[in-house]
Amino acid sequence: MSLQIPSASSSSLFKQGYSTHQSEDGAVIRNIDACRTIALTVQTSLGPYGRNKIVINHLQKMILTNDAATILRELEVVHPAAKLVVMASQQQEAEMGDGTNIVIILAGEMLKMAEGLLRLGLHPSEIVTGYEKAQDFALKALEELAIDKVQDINSKTELTKALRTVIASKQSGNEDLLAPLVAEAVLAVMPKNPINFNVDNVRVVKVMGGGLSDSRVVRGMVFPREPEGSVKSAKKAKVGVFACPIDISQTETKGTVLLHNAKEMLDFTKGEETQLEQVIKEIHDSGIRVIVAGGVVGELALHYINRYEILVIKIMSKFELRRLCRVVGATPLARLGAPMPDEMGTVDIVETEEIGGDRVTAFRQENETTRTATIVLRGATQNHMDDVERAVDDGVNVVKAITKDPRLVPGAGATEMQLVERIIAHGEKTPGLMQHAIKKYGEAFEVIPRTLAESAGLDATEVLSRLYAAHHKKDDWSMGVDIENEKGTGILNALEWNILDLLNVKSWAIKLATDAVRTVLSVDQIIVARQAGGFTGPKPPAPNPNWDED
């Protein structure tokens, strides 16, 4: 019998208030449970028939969405291991703009499989190595599954083909309406070299009222407010952008003025008025007919601007101001005065339109390529429009991913089913304990078609058995879940139905999910320090020690 040397107790090692979770206490299992909880939260939101979640954040704002990235951004996850999975999904959002849900669901399922292996007695390091090997094989297998690609990124029909599936997963039933809209907006701002496409150039403006079918694309920018002065439109005009208020400059300190007679009192504001008129006249003489203000527009300044028939619009957001400068080709000025010729911009049309009950101002460029396009979304409720905006945002981000790699793989869970087949077959050929981890890694991919079938109200077991039978024949790997169940079998050919996912999005999702899982499995101890601060408010009143005395 070997002697066991007692280890130093952590109570004497760390400062008071620390809490530790060790592998002997089942820290790995607890970490897996935390990550599984996160995965189960967003799992029901996968796919076109995914359920919506109502999240009420710390500011009491209600968010209704089935977008995993938004749900997790609003939920404040504090468990350190679960945070790793959330960070992986945020990275997917930053890198690809879509597929955040797949990252979390795959990670959760892989950890569930790993838990079974741990209970069988496998060491975490064997599972980590097996998952690493399986990931390399999965990424190679994914490359072989590309069945189509976006031939010409400047073709609206080709782009729509790739965007339909992305938008359908967020806004089922509206994809045939939204995909061409997004494609039109993207092509309006597509540079000569598509690699330089900037996601920021496609904007969304939401105007309440009407229906989604009333949405349209405007080449240029739309602001949900009307100009300040009496001039409401301009054509082929020069534009001056001022990042400062258009008003008489105020002094920083207060001053006292002594007036001796009535004439001095009358002349007191004359100087300021003359000075301001001089500035506005200079701006008018330089040829500017449209002023964009980044601050307040004073009443006196507005009087002179109206007199000189200049259109003035106030834009308080500095980001919007920056985008507008890109559209009109102007430089934002920090001082009031006539700009230099190279600081001015030009715009073809500025006009005020009425959309529904709201008046909006559109800055439009009539030439073929514009620097910014705006999708004007219409809808009945603010929450619905916010959700449509997220779907549009995902679509625009996917176009950026297409510029890097245009290959497409079958959607509707077909790719995942084929990966299950191939990874398990590869695991069978691998010697040693590692094969258990590889086979379980393959089984984890089954969660995607299963969730799609369950969300659509189909019998998941029956659908999966049919998919396994179809995918076992190597030549028939485009079969996926038929959520509409039009044929009555629950499966369809994804290629024939044009349900195509981007290969790049899938490969990033697999990479990030596997990395997060390997990180969680290789943690055997969590040490949490006591939170800094504590209660600093007033102390509650202590009981009066002399309560029984008169």
Share of the chain above pLDDT 70, in %: 89
- What DSSP designation does 536 have? -
Cα-atom radius of gyration of the chain, to the nearest Å? 31
Phi, psi of 297 (to 5 degrees): -115, 115
Q: How far apart are CA 77 and CA 170, in angstroms?
A: 23
Q: How far apart are CA 160 and CA 185, in angstroms?
A: 12
Residue 4 pLDDT more than 60? no
Contacting residues for 401 by C-beta, under 8 A, at least 6 apart: 96, 97, 98, 502, 504, 505
Query: For 313-370, how does the pLDDT look when each residue is reduced to its tens digit (9 = 90+)?
Result: 888 887 878 888 877 777 888 877 777 877 788 887 788 877 777 778 888 777 655 6
C-beta separation of 86 from 72 below 8 A:
yes
Contacting residues for 115 by C-beta, under 8 A, at least 6 apart: 29, 32
C-beta separation of 44 from 71 below 8 A:
no
| pTM flag (> 0.85) | no
Look up residue 459 and give its two tokens: 């019998």
Which of 401, 393, 509 lies closest to 448, judged by CA?
509
- Which overall architecture, per CATH, does domain 227-252+259-366 show? 3-Layer(bba) Sandwich (3.50)
Please indicate whether residue 56 or residue 25 has the higher confidence score (pLDDT). Answer: 56
Lowest mean pLDDT among 300-309, 351-360, 442-451: 351-360
Q: What is the pLDDT of residue 9?
A: 52
Residue 550 pLDDT more than 70? no
Q: Report CA 447 to chain centroid distance, whole Å.
A: 24
Q: Please state the rounded mean pLDDT for residues 434-442.
A: 86
* DSSP class per residue in 212-248: GGG-EEEEEEEESS--SSS---EEEEEEEEESS-BSP
- What DSSP designation does 77 have? -
Lowest mean pLDDT among 277-286, 400-409, 524-533: 524-533
Q: What is the pLDDT of residue 548?
A: 64
Q: What is the pLDDT of residue 26?
A: 65
Query: For 215-270, how does the pLDDT look when each residue is reduced to its tens digit (9 = 90+)?
Result: 888 877 888 777 787 777 778 878 888 887 777 766 666 777 787 887 777 777 77
Contacting residues for 285 by C-beta, under 8 A, at least 6 apart: 338
Q: Which residue has the tokens 């920090």?
A: 334
Sheet with 216-223: strands ordered across: 202-208, 373-379, 216-223, 358-364, 345-355, 234-242, 288-293, 311-314
Query: For 160-169, how does the pLDDT look when each residue is reduced to its tens digit (9 = 90+)?
Result: 887 888 888 7
Query: For 479-536, how does the pLDDT look when each residue is reduced to its tens digit (9 = 90+)?
Result: 888 777 777 677 777 777 778 888 888 888 888 889 888 888 887 777 777 777 655 5
Please indicate whether residue 108 or residue 95 has the higher confidence score (pLDDT). Answer: 108
Please indicate whether residue 352 or residue 8 has the higher confidence score (pLDDT). Answer: 352
Q: How many CA atoms lie within 13 A of 33 on its CB side?
A: 5
Query: For 142-188, how does the pLDDT look when each residue is reduced to its tens digit (9 = 90+)?
Result: 888 878 777 777 777 878 887 888 888 777 777 778 888 888 888 88
Q: How far apart are CA 381 and CA 205, in angstroms?
A: 14
**Domains of the chain by residue range:** 11-147+410-528, 227-252+259-366
Q: Taking each helix axis from N to C terminus, what angle separates 434-444 and 414-428, rounded to the nearest 10 degrees? A: 170
State the average pLDDT for the chain. 79
* DSSP class per residue in 9-57: PHHHHSPTT-EEE-GGGTHHHHHHHHHHHHHHHHHTT-STTPPPEEEE-
Q: What is the pLDDT of residue 16?
A: 65
- The CATH classification number of 11-147+410-528 equals 1.10.560.10
